[in-house]
Structure 1
Amino acid sequence: MTLPTTPVPVKDGTANPAPLGLCAFGMTTVLLNIHNAGFFEMNTMILGMGIFYGGLAQVIAGVIEAKKNNTFGLTAFTSYGFFWLSLVGLLVMPKLGWGTAPSEGAMIAYLSVWGVFTLLLFFGTLKLSRALQFIFASLTILFFLLVAGDATGNAGIKHFAGYEGIVCGASAIYAGIAQVLNEIYGKTVLPLGPVKD
């Protein structure tokens, strides 16, 4: 005799990986852009953050977003995680004798592609929170300011991009911490500005 089977719903007990990804992106972006603003030289602190927090932590967050069936989170976090790893590679590989350093034109192409990619993802944020809209809009502006700085050789544009990048990174840290605190307290402690349909 066969007993009828009833499907048992399985609750997803996976934690929200977005705060990890946002904080990893934000903190690494702030530190790199403090350098771009001219406060200190490029050093291993930035490279270490780029590999281990901006890079690996965001990739981990993106993989967890895939498990949660969040295509936007998967695409954004893994892409920007690998952006940080590739940026560190562009800086370190020539010093190890693994090819020549990228030319100014190559860096303009690299930053332009990331700027266009970020602009396209920005359109996805229009269905998400105001906080994410701000992060992706300011990141798009940052990439194109960096392109303009490299294209013109104007140090003032690069320094301005640094300050704009600090704001962009700080907004990502805010969004990440807001999600943590809002979840812990079960109410809106720090608003994210959800989009109303």
Structure 2
Amino acid sequence: MENKLANPAPLGLLGFGMTTILLNIHNLGFFPVSAVIISMGIFYGGLAQIIAGILSFKNGKTFAGTAFVSYGFFWISLVGIWLFPNTGFEMAGTTPAPFFGCYLAIWGIFTAFMWWGTWGGSKVQQFVFLSLTILFFLLAVSKFTGSETITVIAGGLGVICGSSAFYLAMAELLEEVKNKRVLPY
């Protein structure tokens, strides 16, 4: 009997998309970082994406596995950057804004290569990775310059990016449930 594994991509995309939307509502200036974003970052953006990535690797999907595991650990590391300064450990002090900008720029470079990997595939997937690439670089520039205006612009793009991942998750999920393409992607 064949042991068919389910498609873990909708789970990973939802973990990424919903957490990205919430963080960027913060970047738009509506709410401070709180337990909502921290919890989503650890559990849904973090652990759910890592689980989806491991299952993707098991399904032979190297790109999806690399993306979900990497961005899952991005979320967990981001939460660590926020929380570790409160532990009292001297080495875990607050990250200087320019160094945080370096962190975001490295993620932007990684994401640009991942975007390249989407060429020839789904247009929505291409949009998710392109918008995420731009988002990381905008956030890096905002940290390098201290510009709140750039942070707000990044927040708007981040909501769009997260929403596009949410949409792609729903398109893939509904296609499987209905046995036909319901939403174009």
Question: Which range, TM-score by smaller chain?
Answer: over 0.9
2:32 corresponds in structure 1 to 41
2:134 corresponds in structure 1 to 141
2:67 corresponds in structure 1 to 76
Give the CA RMSD over aligned residues.
Answer: 0.9
- In the alignment, residue 151 of structure 1 is paired with which amino acid? F
1:66 corresponds in structure 2 to 57
- In the alignment, residue 177 of structure 1 is paired with which amino acid? M
Gaps of 5+ in 1: 1-9, 193-197
Q: Percent identity?
A: 51
SS of the equivalent of 2:60 reads coil
Take 2:54 and 2:21, find their aligned partners in 1: how far apart are those partners? 24
Q: Decide which of 20, 28, 41 is 1:29's aligned counterpart.
A: 20
Structure number with higher helix proportion: 2
Q: Decide which of 95, 115, 121 is 2:114's aligned counterpart.
A: 121
Take 1:143 and 1:11, find their aligned partners in 2: how far apart are those partners? 41
- In the alignment, residue 133 of structure 1 is paired with which amino acid? Q
Alignment coverage as a number of residue pairs: 183
- In the alignment, residue 42 of structure 2 is paired with which amino acid? I
Matched, 1:56 2:22: no
Matched, 1:186 2:179: yes
| Structure 1 runs, 4 residues or longer, greater than 6 Å off | none
Take 2:12 and 2:83, find their aligned partners in 1: how far apart are those partners? 24
Q: Decide which of 74, 80, 84 is 1:89's aligned counterpart.
A: 80
Gaps of 5+ in 2: none
Per the normalisation by structure 1, the TM-score is 0.91
Take 2:119 and 2:3, find their aligned partners in 1: how far apart are those partners? 26
String of CA shifts for 1:10-61, please: whole Å, max 9, x gaps: 6341100000000000000000000000011111110000000000000000
SS of the equivalent of 2:180 reads coil
SS of the equivalent of 1:122 reads helix
Take 1:52 and 1:140, find their aligned partners in 2: how far apart are those partners? 23
Take 1:121 and 1:144, find their aligned partners in 2: how far apart are those partners? 14
Distance 1:11 1:127, change over 3 A: farther
String of CA shifts for 1:152-175, please: whole Å, max 9, x gaps: 111111011001000000000000
String of CA shifts for 1:66-118, please: whole Å, max 9, x gaps: 11000001100000000000000000011112311111121011000000000
Task: State which structure, 1 or 2, has the greater radius of gyration over its C-alpha atoms.
Answer: 1
